[in-house]
A and B are shown apart, each in its own frame.
Chain A
Amino acid sequence: MVVMVRRSGNNRLAQVRMWVAVLAANRGVPVSVRLLCETAVVRLGVTGAVVTVDMSTGWSETRCATDMLGERLAELQVTVGEGPCVDAARDGGPVLVADLDAPASQRRWPLFAPLAVESGVGALFALPLCVGAIRVGVLALHRVQAGGLEPATLADSLAFAAMGLGLLLDEQAGLRAGDFAEGLPLHDPRLHQATGMISAQLDVAMADAFVRLRARAFAEQRTLSELAADVVAGRLRFEPTGEMS
């Protein structure tokens, strides 16, 4: 019985990918972050969806917003330097705010919350797109009406976030959207240990180390897990010079 629940968990991501792929096929365009946001609005029953991307400067930039309100919420958080998306990016966990007007929300974000309510939003759900210390961005879903996400909707929104993360990581690694289709082995600790080792070998940030690892796996047509296992075992080292850029 529990095993079935487990399988349905894996199916959620597959389901979300399919929804987005169907929309892309109907429009005759490639799968993109924008299509993902549009699909999320329809499937999750939210007012709008926004993806912001973390820049190397430490600022976040809006990549895609399905409505003006979403755009405004993203800008507001950058301006006042606080808000659910800021917290989600910093802590690496979702920040789900069912009622921005509630005292707890107003206390937590004294600058952002009143302004957000004033601009007409009731609930905001910020889902970080990150791999450990590698911050890629945030998927934010908002509703005009206050109220929490149903458990099934919450699980779906996490699947949307997982897909968004994959799309942005592919982009960073210079791969086509969809190249990650077989899935990143993010549950494999060796992938992350290898990333840490490469970051020390090349003296680069964790994000760059991850990109280098993926690019190499792609170039050598090997799986990330295989390559990561080689790095962790010391069979493969990344050299600072004369290597792939």
Chain B
Amino acid sequence: MDEERLVDTFVELADTLIDDFDVIDFLHLLVDRCVELLDVDAAGLLLADQHGQLQVIASSNEQVRLLELFQVQNDQGPCLEAFVTGVSVSHVDLTTAGARWPYFASTAVEAGFRAVDALPMRLRSEVIGALNLFRVQVGALDRAALRTAQALVDVATIGLLQERLIHRQEILTQQLQAALNSRVVIEQAKGLIAERLGIDLDGAFAALRGYARGHNLKLSDVARTVIAGQTSTRDLLATPATLPDR
């Protein structure tokens, strides 16, 4: 594991929390860095809304997004289990998970995944969501990676809960509802961009995000301007693909 990169990630997460906080941008950063640093192939994150119902907030790709949604819809899977019990869940060979999660296991295997870890986003007795880490190879995630994942999740959890402490319940509802709607705006923009540019949804998201980062804008704000026709889909691709990280 690249330790310098890991330290950078913690600094980056902390920075995101301080200035103009955006739940979606923050959690996307988290899942991306998990994939980058932890030797996992995909990651997804769910947060509970004010009803206690889990919502898919961030995922490293489209396939995982659907897999997370599938867990919520079928009320079954590692993420739900981690959320409900508040403890980490691991299954090192999903082809043998049929008894534990009949629907989820077969869908995950079909999607090409063989191993999964789910970490609760928990502070003391409060569980606010869960992170899923997927791998295409059978086998356990090494201990160092798992500890790092837990540390990343803890930082994110404390960050989100701190938001809730500083502000009141009402502020939380306002933020989460706005974030959920922003999530929808982003999906609508992805569809629009994919269709206009003849690329797939992951490519559309990458273009959207590249532009947001390159111009230091929030993802959802760029999505809105694309839908309103204020940012042309062509401009999205004109952004350099790689940008210096701070």
Tell yes or no: A102 within 8 A of B by CB.
no
A148:B170 contact, CB within 8 angstroms: yes
Stretch from B134-142, B156-164, B173-181 forming part of the interface with A? B173-181
A155:B170 contact, CB within 8 angstroms: no
- How many whole Å from B222's CB to the nearest CB in chain A? 12
- Distance of A194 Cα from B189 Cα, bound (Å): 10
Contacts of A194 in B (CB 8 A): 191
Contact of A92 among B54, B178, B196 (CB under 8 A): B178
- Distance of A229 Cα from B192 Cα, bound (Å): 15
A195:B50 contact, CB within 8 angstroms: no
User: Given A92-B182, A132-B181: A232 and B191 within 8 A (CB)?
Assistant: yes
Tell yes or no: A158 within 8 A of B by CB.
yes
- Distance of A131 Cα from B56 Cα, bound (Å): 16
Tell yes or no: A9 within 8 A of B by CB.
yes
- How many whole Å from B126's CB to the nearest CB in chain A? 10
The count of residues in chain B whose C-beta lies closer than 8 Å to any C-beta of chain A is 47
- Distance of A238 Cα from B56 Cα, bound (Å): 28
Tell yes or no: B239 within 8 A of A by CB.
no
B51:A155 contact, CB within 8 angstroms: yes
Contacts of B235 in A (CB 8 A): none
- Whose C-beta in chain A lies nearest to the C-beta of B229? A205
B51:A199 contact, CB within 8 angstroms: no
Contact of B84 among A3, A95, A98, A192 (CB under 8 A): A3
Number of contacts between A and B (CB, 8 Å)? Answer: 134
Stretch from B64-72, B92-100, B103-111 forming part of the interface with A? B64-72
- How many whole Å from A194's CB to the nearest CB in chain B? 6
- How many whole Å from A229's CB to the nearest CB in chain B? 10
Tell yes or no: B8 within 8 A of A by CB.
no
A154:B170 contact, CB within 8 angstroms: yes
Tell yes or no: B190 within 8 A of A by CB.
yes
Chain B 200-213 interface mask (CB, 8 Å, partner A; 1/0): 01000000000000
B196:A154 contact, CB within 8 angstroms: no
- Distance of A186 Cα from B56 Cα, bound (Å): 12
User: Given A5-B52, A6-B52, A9-B49: A154 and B173 within 8 A (CB)?
Assistant: yes
Contacts of A133 in B (CB 8 A): 184-185, 188-189, 223-224, 227-228
Contact of A197 among B49, B52, B178, B195 (CB under 8 A): B195
Tell yes or no: B41 within 8 A of A by CB.
no
- Distance of A96 Cα from B170 Cα, bound (Å): 7
A200:B72 contact, CB within 8 angstroms: no
- Distance of A98 Cα from B168 Cα, bound (Å): 12
Tell yes or no: B169 within 8 A of A by CB.
yes
B182:A197 contact, CB within 8 angstroms: no
Tell yes or no: A10 within 8 A of B by CB.
yes
Tell yes or no: B194 within 8 A of A by CB.
yes
- Whose C-beta in chain A lies nearest to the C-beta of B178? A93
Contacts of A98 in B (CB 8 A): 170
B191:A197 contact, CB within 8 angstroms: yes
Tell yes or no: B127 within 8 A of A by CB.
yes
Contacts of A193 in B (CB 8 A): 187-188, 190-191, 194, 201
A132:B174 contact, CB within 8 angstroms: no
B192:A131 contact, CB within 8 angstroms: no
A155:B50 contact, CB within 8 angstroms: yes
B188:A154 contact, CB within 8 angstroms: no
A 210-238 contacts with B by CB, 8 A:
232
A94:B191 contact, CB within 8 angstroms: no
Give me the interface of B with A, judged by CB distance under 8 Å.
Answer: 48-56, 65-66, 69, 72-73, 75, 83-84, 127, 168-170, 173-175, 177-179, 181-182, 184-196, 201, 223-224, 227-228
Give me the interface of A with B, judged by CB distance under 8 Å.
Answer: 1-3, 5-6, 8-10, 12, 91-96, 98, 128, 130-134, 148-149, 151, 154-155, 158, 186-190, 192-201, 206, 232
7 further contact pairs, Cβ within 8 A, besides A6-B53, A93-B174, A133-B228:
A9-B51, A188-B69, A189-B65, A196-B194, A199-B188, A199-B191, A199-B227
Sampled A-B contacts (14; CB under 8 Å): A6-B54, A91-B178, A92-B181, A94-B177, A95-B174, A96-B170, A132-B184, A133-B189, A187-B72, A193-B188, A196-B192, A199-B191, A200-B196, A232-B201
